[in-house]
């Protein structure tokens, strides 16, 4: 049985230097003015966000990690934002809007009731316009209960400490943060949190998502099918998909 933690304990577990603490409120209007929010994004910001706080700012002066700049990436600092929600259904939309609006790497900590969800996004410089940043891949942890975390979620909390990351530069530092959230998403399927694997976990997770969707669609067809021969074919296909899902789980 795992132990409940508080939101403050989650941040304490991250082991951030005190110099990184900021605690600055961010007004939603700043995203309206600086971001590229469409009507649906603005609706989600207005209706679903109670508050946004810039909790920590990680800079060379606050955590002693060098910035990283090359022709494709510009990782000068890392921000940790906390977003208190009044509804959880549109967190993915809100996360993407915020990640697009902020040009540097960000960890977004969504909070709803006794649950939290983490979002990170790998970014690169726009090849067509070097003054713009493109979100390459976003990763979302899904919702985690702080009162009743699973054992693999507790293992993730214990590993999600900046002292475990590379301090070579902010690019490598943030990659280590992303790596742990990907590992958490894999643990959701395997039941065991682990960093060590040679498999492309992002691609494996995408394959599993597609296969699970196909299995659900095939199961729905089976429920409606009256022809015995077609039922046999659909059952065979479901078993093939399930076997493939289990094989991918074994690789994770």
pLDDT digits over 35-69, tens only?
678 889 989 999 999 999 999 999 999 999 999 99
- 59/64 Cα distance (integer angstroms): 7
151 is in which domain, residue-wise?
A: 7-190
Range in 39-48, 122-131, 163-172, 210-219 with the lowest mean pLDDT: 122-131
State residue 231's pLDDT score.
93
Buried b (16+ CB within 10 A) or exposed e, 26-40: beeeebeeebebeee
71 part of a folded domain = yes
Q: What is the mean pLDDT of residues 151-176?
A: 96
* Same domain as 153, residue 232: no
- 226/240 Cα distance (integer angstroms): 21
* Residue owning tokens 């090849």: 127
> From residue 27, how far is each of 33, 50, 94, 116, 168 by CA, in Å?
11, 10, 14, 21, 33
239 part of a folded domain = yes
User: Among residues 177, 202, 178, which one has the least CA distance to residue 252?
Assistant: 202
Q: How confident is the model at residue 221 (pLDDT cuts 50, 70, 90)?
A: very high
- 170/22 Cα distance (integer angstroms): 18
Number of structural domains (the chain) is 2
**Does 248 score more than 60 pLDDT?**
yes
Give the domain-ending residue among 190, 218, 242.
190
* Same domain as 225, residue 156: no
* Same domain as 103, residue 50: yes
1 part of a folded domain = no
2 part of a folded domain = no
Q: How confident is the model at residue 32 (pLDDT cuts 50, 70, 90)?
A: confident
State residue 34's pLDDT score.
67
195 part of a folded domain = no
State residue 1's pLDDT score.
56
pLDDT digits over 118-145, tens only?
999 999 988 777 667 889 899 999 999 9
124 part of a folded domain = yes
* Same domain as 145, residue 25: yes
* Same domain as 129, residue 86: yes
**Does 197 score more than 70 pLDDT?**
yes
Whole-number average pLDDT of the chain = 92
* Same domain as 206, residue 173: no
């Amino acid at each position: 049985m795992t132990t409940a933690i508080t939101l403050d304990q989650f941040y304490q577990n991250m082991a951030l230097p005190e110099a990184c603490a900021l605690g600055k409120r961010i007004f939603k209007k700043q995203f309206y003015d600086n971001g590229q929010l469409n009507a649906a994004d603005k609706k989600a910001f207005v209706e679903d966000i109670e508050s946004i706080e810039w909790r920590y700012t990680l800079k060379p002066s606050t955590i002693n990690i060098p910035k990283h700049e090359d022709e494709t990436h510009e990782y000068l600092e890392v921000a940790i934002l906390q977003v208190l929600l009044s509804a959880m259904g549109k967190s993915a939309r809100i996360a993407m809007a915020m990640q697009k609006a902020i040009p540097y790497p960000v960890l977004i900590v969504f909070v709803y009731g006794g649950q939290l969800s983490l979002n990170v996004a790998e970014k690169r410089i726009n090849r067509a316009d070097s003054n713009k940043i493109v979100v390459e891949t976003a990763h979302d942890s899904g919702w985690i209960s702080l009162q009743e975390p699973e054992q693999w979620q507790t293992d993730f909390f214990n590993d999600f400490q900046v002292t475990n990351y590379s301090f070579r530069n902010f690019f490598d530092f943030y990659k280590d943060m992303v790596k742990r959230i990907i590992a958490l998403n894999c643990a959701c399927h395997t039941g065991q949190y682990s960093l060590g694997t040679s498999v492309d976990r992002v691609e494996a997770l995408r394959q599993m998502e597609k296969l699970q969707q196909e299995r659900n669609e095939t199961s729905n067809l089976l429920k409606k099918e009256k022809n015995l021969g077609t039922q046999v074919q659909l059952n065979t296909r479901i078993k093939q998909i399930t076997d493939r899902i289990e094989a991918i789980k074994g690789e994770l």
